[in-house]
Structure 1
Amino acid sequence: MVRQMEDDNVTDVSEECPPSYPHSAEAKESLFAAFDPALFRRNSEAVVARLESHLADLSVRGLDLSDPGALSRAARALMTTERETIADFDDKRLAAIVDLYVRTGIQVHSPGYMGRQFSGTVPLAGVVDFVGSVVNQPSSYYEAGQLPITAERIMADELNRFIGWEPGRFAMVTTSGGSLANLTALLAARNRACPGIWARGEHRGRGRPAIAVGEDVHYSVTRAAGILGIGESRIVRLPLDRRGRIAARRVPAVLAAAERRGLEVFCMVASAGTTALGAFDPIDELAGIAAGRGIWLHVDGAHGASLLVSDALRHRLRGIEKADSLTWDAHKLMFVPAPCTMLFYRNAQDAPGAFQRRVASYVFDEEPDAHCEFDSGDRNVECTKRPMIMPLWTLWAMYGRALFAEKIEHLCRTTNEAYGVLTEEPDFETLHQPEANILCFRYRPQGIGEDQVHRLQLRIRKQVRLAGRFFISKVNVRGVAALRVVLMNHQVSAEHFRMLLAEIRTTGERLLRDDDLA
């Protein structure tokens, strides 16, 4: 007899025959074959051989941008037509899938890749990520991922040596990306400033909750304001100086004006490496302003926090020890697979404040033991979470800090060399001296009209991308489009940059000659 809960009443249900499942020895054999360790080894060796060839190819290549319809047809052609039984394994099909995957992606290991902030990984990091995919140990709860959670604690201590918070008093959690880390930090800041808002959904303070951000803040922060119900009208925009940094001396007046409008700024967001220019806000000065007004200071260091591991570059984040929280993407300038983001809190008690309630009974232990203190599910949006720290910890364990510091310094040095090359080219306009590894500029020959500059940059970028040798990005700087390079690959040299400029010049001359700016 089966007992069923229905509308809080226990009712008896007539005993039914169990469902009948189709079964055969052949079907069972096919099922088990898909999990065969020998097949796993054969697949792995075949894929590794192809990836080794891919990594060894240092030719200058950008993006092979496929027609979406053609790519869809190619992908569908690789799918088995078997619908009723498990298809026999086809080595050639797997090889074709891997080749298509590699060929159609951005070539992050090529000297032609200069366009985005995600990086070619240290190959060992990919190997460890592969291990994580096979053993599949989610890392929000100690019992599910013992080593990943232990590694999180170790890396938190290791990296805090460069942040400078009091050992044992701070906290770190990993999140799937900087956007999620920024949102989580803003939640913690809001809940500290508005203690009743989580339960009641309302704030009983002296003004309407608001956040203050630089004009060039990453869009994830403004999105977070919408998600939190703050609204764009309560985002206080802080002015920038000519270097693209928050102009600290003008901040007090802006905050005072916001207060007169009935806004209560509970959090100020500074950037350590803005997405557009790679600019570093003056954290030390902003921290003093925030502390004087009781405002939480969050630093979005998704891109630039990694400079902390370099003795030569750490000064870019002067004052970071005074911040309340810090977002740090390791999948950018620490060269591990994405996502791997770390969210640090100066005060460990603020970490669970982002989510002011216990998690569900199936993960919350009513009789906690020593292992439970390592759980992070109560401090994170995510329940199931990849063991993203493992590639970073393994690299740190194997190579130490110097691997990261030397590559970061090399990239920043090469970016400054590229800036020097630009200053010698009369038909190019430099927009800033790079503070890290991001450089923005424009192709602007004599005689070009002001009304043509914006469209010309957009068209150049599109044509360069379609040509397939270089991959660069674009961004609006003070309302006008600019070409943007992000040097993430240590194989890129000043000579590669000169090759890029030559292609930009040729492309721009052709567009202007053909009047192709419509």
Structure 2
Amino acid sequence: MKTETILPEESTLDPQDWNSIRALGHQMLNDMIDYIQSAAQRPAWKKPSSYAVASMQQPLPELPQEAADVYEDFFTQVLPFNTNNIHPRFWGWVQGGGTITGMLADMLASGMNANVSIGEHMPMYVERQVINWAKEMMGFPATASGILLSGGSLANITAMIVARNHFNNNIRQKGLQSMPSQLIVYGSAETHNCVSKGIEVIGIGSDNFRKVPVDENYCIDLKVLEQMIIADKASGYTPFCIIGNAGTVNTGAIDPLTELSAIAKAYNCWFHVDGAFGAIPKILPEFQQRLQGIELADSLAFDYHKWLYVNYEVACVLIKDAAAHREAFAIAVSYLANHERGLSSGPDPFSNYGMELSRGFKALKVWMVMKENGMQKYRQLVRQNIRQAQYLAGLIKQEPSLELLLEPSLNIVCFRYVGDTTDTEQLNLLNKEILMQLHEKGIAAPTYTFLNGKYVIRVAITNHRTRSSDLDQLVKAVIHIGGGFSL
């Protein structure tokens, strides 16, 4: 029987004209390099046009389109209306600006199309190298384990799963009903909301997250923490995890980590540190004392795409007890068993250390940009951002119409326009209006938070493109916009 009588004409998604796609690829590369190079020449933010929004309401495409036409749609309808966190005056949330090499690494990783979960192939070893570097940066022992994830949310959740399962070996099989009493988690009231989500996801329930009050510097109150633990134990509950913050999202506050570690040990609790961005100054000699205690944690979460300027998305969780990490996730199944030789051999699968079996090659961009820049360059840039925060705070204190809410402890500056009034409600509305106009005019992209009921403009400087002149421009714009309103 002839093959053609069994199968229809066979096809592929590879291009028929390789020269045309090669030319289009070169155009894409040049356009994106131009886009990044000219970032400062564009507004800090631009609202998506009604045409662009409407262009994303089309029916499912049935017929093929030319790749060049598809790219043209991207270039005209998507690219101009990006978040634009590559801009030197982007200071919103805590987002790094990425790098050219990181962009190119993502292209290489996508071209390789590797599943970095299992098997004998080099992407597995690249991720292991990146994790070993992370342990060295953060003072974790070489025997610790870790895994790369999409962001701090999954990194924190992964750590809490390990903490929960390590606390009681029956939980994986029998669930939380195997616990004789309710598990309780503790962290400051400034702890990121992804922790509350994580506590919900792992079945403990957000009602069982004790939000400990903070002091005047927005750090956890150790005395109240111990009182809560003692009260919970007396009520028959089971304290099992204490979370310390190395840089809170609102203000950059650093909890007393060494003291938290001691309390955790005294009450047989797992000690986890959320260092999403604030753990990064651990690479600076002058911050070793401020961040002392990170190396004492049972687990640590931090992001590369924040203050290490790596392109989205990639984070890391480190677990000091490698066996506990593996025991929390590993399942023996025949189709994932390691062989002695061949593609099915290789390092211990990463699927034994997290929820994902399908995993992209996130490690490549971390590996490439860290090799390209070296720790000396990273130390310079992190110091630069900290000094820029101090510089901005100094500018604010020189202006009678502005109020600095607290001295920056890291790279976050919280301030507001006050003019000549003290009415909190009016000032909240005015500063909200100032923020929106900063965005709409394309001047700058800070975000906001509330501190003691006060709406404040929040500048988080994790931007290697920012210069002091950008901060000068922000202060002038806030004063100009605020002065144009009558309260």
TM-score (norm 2): 0.92
| 422-431 vs 250-259, greater mean Cα deviation | 250-259
Q: C-alpha offsets along residues 405-458 of structure 1, whole Å, 9 cap, x if unaligned? A: 111111111111111111111111111211222111111122241222222222
SS at match of 1:186: helix
The correspondence for 1:362, drawn from 335, 347, 351, is 335
What corresponds to 1:65 in structure 2?
47
The correspondence for 1:273, drawn from 240, 247, 256, is 247
Q: Relative to 1, partners in 2 of residues 1:36 and 1:170: Cα closer, same or farther, differing over 3 Å?
A: farther
What corresponds to 1:4 in structure 2?
none
Q: Relative to 1, partners in 2 of residues 1:303 and 1:82: Cα closer, same or farther, differing over 3 Å?
A: closer
**TM superposition shift of 1:203:** 4.3
**TM superposition shift of 1:220:** 0.8
Task: Give yes or no for the alignment of 1:83 onto 2:31.
Answer: no
Structure 2 unmatched runs, 5+: none
The correspondence for 2:402, drawn from 396, 403, 428, is 428
Q: Distance in 2 between matches of 1:450 and 1:113?
A: 27
Q: Relative to 1, partners in 2 of residues 1:38 and 1:361: Cα closer, same or farther, differing over 3 Å?
A: farther
Aligned-CA RMSD value: 2.6
What corresponds to 1:257 in structure 2?
231
SS at match of 1:317: coil
Q: Distance in 1 between matches of 2:190 and 2:310?
A: 26
Q: Which has the higher contact order (CA 8 A, sep 6+)?
A: 2
Task: Give yes or no for the alignment of 1:509 onto 2:483.
Answer: yes
Q: Percent identity?
A: 22
What corresponds to 1:493 in structure 2?
467
SS at match of 2:185: strand
The correspondence for 2:82, drawn from 87, 99, 105, is 105
**TM superposition shift of 1:123:** 1.0
Q: Distance in 2 between matches of 1:166 and 1:111?
A: 37
Is residue 339–residue 345 contact of structure 2 (8 Å, CA) maintained in 1?
no
The correspondence for 1:315, drawn from 274, 277, 289, is 289
What corresponds to 2:437 in structure 1?
463
**TM superposition shift of 1:292:** 1.1
Q: Relative to 1, partners in 2 of residues 1:95 and 1:281: Cα closer, same or farther, differing over 3 Å?
A: same
Q: Relative to 1, partners in 2 of residues 1:59 and 1:157: Cα closer, same or farther, differing over 3 Å?
A: same
**TM superposition shift of 1:90:** 5.3
Q: Relative to 1, partners in 2 of residues 1:258 and 1:398: Cα closer, same or farther, differing over 3 Å?
A: same
The correspondence for 1:156, drawn from 125, 128, 131, is 131
Is residue 219–residue 253 contact of structure 2 (8 Å, CA) maintained in 1?
yes
Q: Distance in 2 between matches of 1:180 and 1:474?
A: 24
SS at match of 1:407: helix
Is residue 268–residue 295 contact of structure 1 (8 Å, CA) maintained in 2?
yes
Equivalent positions of 1:98-497 (< 5 A) are: 98-143=75-120, 146-167=121-142, 169-205=143-179, 207-355=181-329, 357-358=330-331, 360-365=333-338, 371-497=345-471
**TM superposition shift of 1:478:** 2.3
Is residue 338–residue 345 contact of structure 2 (8 Å, CA) maintained in 1?
no
**TM superposition shift of 1:366:** 7.3
Is residue 111–residue 496 contact of structure 1 (8 Å, CA) maintained in 2?
yes
Q: Distance in 2 between matches of 1:391 and 1:479?
A: 41
TM-score (norm 1): 0.86
Is residue 300–residue 318 contact of structure 2 (8 Å, CA) maintained in 1?
yes
**TM superposition shift of 1:501:** 1.9
Q: Which has the larger radius of gyration?
A: 1
Structure 2 counterpart of 1:102, one-letter code: L
Is residue 241–residue 272 contact of structure 2 (8 Å, CA) maintained in 1?
yes
Equivalent residues, number: 482
Q: Distance in 2 between matches of 1:91 and 1:358?
A: 45
Q: C-alpha offsets along residues 31-76 of structure 1, whole Å, 9 cap, x if unaligned? A: 5653754344212210111112212212262110125x53232456
Q: Distance in 2 between matches of 1:99 and 1:196?
A: 55
